[in-house]
Structure 1
Amino acid sequence: MEWRCRGITWGGGVPGLRWRGGRVSALAYGQELAFRAVGERRCPGARGNPCPLEAVVPGRATGGRCAECARLDRAHSVAADTFLDDPQPYRVYLAWFGPGMTKVGITAEARGEARLLEQGAVTFSWLGRGPLMAARRTEEVLRQALGVPDRVAYERKRVARHTLPTAPDRAVEVRELYGRAREVGGWTETLEPLEFAARDHAGAFGLDGLPPFAGTVTELVDGGVVSGRLLAAAGPDLHLLDPGGRCLALDTRLMGGWVLQGAGDGGAFSVPVSEAVSAVDPSSQGELF
């Protein structure tokens, strides 16, 4: 049987690897992983539809889709402002990824905390709820008023996870942002404000006590092996302790479209890795294993 990866899932608030066909392999912190990429990386398709061409895609592309499937995926995307008539309620959230790294975002209320887990938000609070367009307008207004970005680079998130302040200190920064957001006029007329309640994902991600960050896997290659002990998972990233003692981040978006095979015990780590760089000043914004 061919196991072609579709990336990570956070179903039920716990990480797992998805495979073509719908299967999920649960991931557990402390388990040993050892797998080999085989053949060529193929586009997995979009919106539940397989790629008609099974197009070959570049190893370093985090999107992992061919141009046509990427367009289809964005055609009904709230994030891309291409899907604006969704009648279900939405929530505006304030997310914290590390010191000085916060953002405002929206998610469908029915998804609960899934969007925050997928982004790797260590701490967050809900701010308000209401119709999609009101939530979208509030998001844009608050970005401008609070001076926060629409996204935080994953490279910065990965470094920050290894030197996190305490949970109370994390909550303080979110509370301060919440207070500033409530002072911005206008949005409470179209959205129902929600009380501040900091929620912390450090435990769900397994971030306590991570060793120093050593680098990031840049791509998988045919025959390349990834091996090591799974220490943590946050957003799309797996944090692994490789056989050489390095703590490395593997973005599972790079795994999508690859056929993966078990590499057995003690397989040598042999995929390209970029060494860690200094963090930006925080004052600025199953079966195979």
Structure 2
Amino acid sequence: MNTIESIAPAQARQAIPLFNPTATPAAPLVELNDGAVAPQIGFGLYELREGDDCASAVTQAIAAGYRHFDTAQHYYNEHTLGWALKRSGIPRDQFFVTSKTPWNLSRRSILVECEASLIRSGLEYFDLYLIHWPTGDVVECWHAMEELQRLGMIRSLGVSNFSIRRFEEVFFKAGCSLPVVNQIEFHPFYQQPELTAYCRSKGIRIMAYSPLARASIALPPALSEIAAAHGKTPQQVMLKWSLQQGNIIIPKSRHPDRMKQNLQLGDFTLTAAEMAQINALDRNENVLKFRPGGYF
């Protein structure tokens, strides 16, 4: 039977260096419930496969000012991400890298796949590691992630796509330590108010993927009107609305101008009335239709 010693790298790992916030002038910082800090705006790598397009996108994102990058084992771009980070010449502790587990969850798969992801990326550690989907024996996998944390392979532990029911089963009935984030689909048209309120009440920060609804939903006039009042785009208003709720956001773009626009959110503030207008746009319309495990 495999043990953590046989699966983990043989060499002793040094303590993970503290994330250096001076390297993120383009994005505000937020504190997680374990005391770590993270850039509030990240760059998503979903659907950016290994190769020239991914390398170009990451390189342009770094040039635009991004220091938080969000990947996963099944995004198949870990090698390119690691290559681009090293090629930038910026020290590792000035980047914040989030990755995620595979779906075939077991203790051994977590231990093996996290190590494999680090090898592929050429990184010594992940700043944040998430259970991607709550399938399999999540309690067993969470304890495996805690082992990886003790080994210095990951700094902070989080989850993704967790419902209230799964939170209750894993983190309260089973007594596991709380995650720092729950990464979920979150945008004005899919606000998941019960889930987000639950997470915030427990000190679990929302990390919003698809914060622009993947441009697949027609934008209502209200967003354009609010944007015009601030000299911004409707997309910037959508992102700012999420930021003002304390969320971490993970937008994605292949276009340098839009990458920059997604970071240019610090020079305006939405009023309470404008926030309420956007809140009223919720229609429970998600853009990610894939749901493994039937946990909802």
Q: Normalising by the residue count of structure 1, what TM-score does the alignment of the two structures yield?
A: 0.32
Higher-helix-fraction structure: 2
Q: Provide the TM-score with structure 2 as the length reference.
A: 0.32
Higher strand share: 1
Q: Highest relative contact order (Cα 8 Å, sep 6+), 1 or 2? A: 1
- The higher radius of gyration belongs to 1
